[in-house]
Amino acid sequence: MKTVGILKNTVQDYAWGSLTAIPELLGQPATDKPQAELWMGAHPKAPSQVYHDGKWESLLQVIEANPADVLGKEAAEKFGGKLPYLFKVLAAAKPLSIQAHPNAKQAKEGFERENRLGIPLMSSNRNYKDDNHKPECLCALTRFWGMNGFRRIPEIVKYLGGLCKDVLEKEIALVESQPNSQGLKRLFQALLTMPQEKKMAAISSAASHATSCKTPRDILADPVFQWIQRLHVEYPEDIGVLFPALFNLFCLEPGQALYLASGEPHAYLEGVGIELMANSDNVLRGGLTQKHLDVPELLNILTFQEQALSVISPRKCSDVEWVYDTPAEEFSLSVISVFPKSYWISHGKRSAEILLCTDGQLILDNGPGDDPIHLFKGASVVVPASVEQYHLYGDGMCYKASVPGIAGFMLDTRSAES
């Protein structure tokens, strides 16, 4: 593959998805099914289709047939001939499950173990769908609410004490008497494994106090109490209702991002965002879902430590490109915004890049011999490493997924008259 390829991508219609956000992005009519995720990439579960040699082909198969052409020799060798990232649009109208992702060693061991046990790859009770880890970056397109990482232990004690001390006195004492990672693990395990009757009493107490109790702050202004009430409506019998008291709540404004490392507990609650991650679909869940739960395995992969939120603002590379810096080896996310009398020029050496237009109209030009490609809102393309250089101009915005360390930055705004 030696030319830019237009993509057709799979939409995942999970129950928590939005009825309108992804159809609106793609310029399609809304359906009566929630559309949760738009996948762009080459994951075996739902590889993109790419227009190549006059026909639509699986991007996964195109890469397998020509890894050096698509990925470049360096990336093909480093990542075993596979596209190392998965690019998504995520549209959450309802809360997602409390979850975490394994590190590379845990993913490899878990995948091999479940293969030996003969658990079908698409089985609903399978934890490991592949042998890869899944660090990820989430960038908000709309205001985006979620939870990520454990709060400071004094905050956890304060919130749980105010919400349901009468029911959870012993559980709260676990972390009060051992205010460290081991105490957090004991508290978390105790909450997830409590008898159902006690869980219901704790949930009822928390929901009641979140609605009516008096706190030093106005209860209606505290998002912890707001989200406990909302989660109770969606999942009235799930202990995850209490977890806004355990995890850091965040609200990203459009353009802000978060990086989530392996082992970090999190749950996305509401909003539309761009997700870029290592090429994996491994998820261990602990609540707020009807899907398979494996508490022992979740406890095995979680990182139990207090964590401060670190919101990422994009770093300006030029007048037309901003990059979201993360420690990931597999992916780099940037946003390009061009306007009349300006354009963007790619670097000559890079791996495969995927571009998604989210606003306006862009024109992609990769030199003589190929017609320019018009990218309207919702359109996406893959640019293989074999394309020496390409330009973007017009009046619009796109998000770009690339491979760090291989993709250089030659990022200029230039006058069309120069």
Give every CB contact of residue 256 below 8 A, 6+ residues apart in sequence: 139, 140, 311, 312, 313
E strands, 297-406, in order: 315-316, 321-324, 332-338, 343-345, 353-365, 373-376, 380-383, 391-402
Contact, 252 vs 271, CB < 8 A? Answer: yes
The 10 Å Cβ neighbour count of residue 243 is: 24
Cα-based distances in Å from 66 to 48, 83, 402: 16, 12, 18
* Segment holding 52, helix H or strand E: strand 49-52
CA distance 97 to 146: 11
What is the full DSSP assignment across 290-305? SS---HHHHHHH---S
Tokens at 402, concatenated: 């690339």
d(CA 289, CA 389): 45
Tell me which residues are annotated as active site.
285
- Which among 248, 253, 210 is positioned nearest to 231, based on CA atoms? 210
Structural contact between residues 279 and 83, judged by C-beta atoms closer than 8 angstroms: yes
Residue with tokens 């404004």, as numbered in its chain = 253
Neighbouring CB atoms inside 10 A of 169's CB total 12
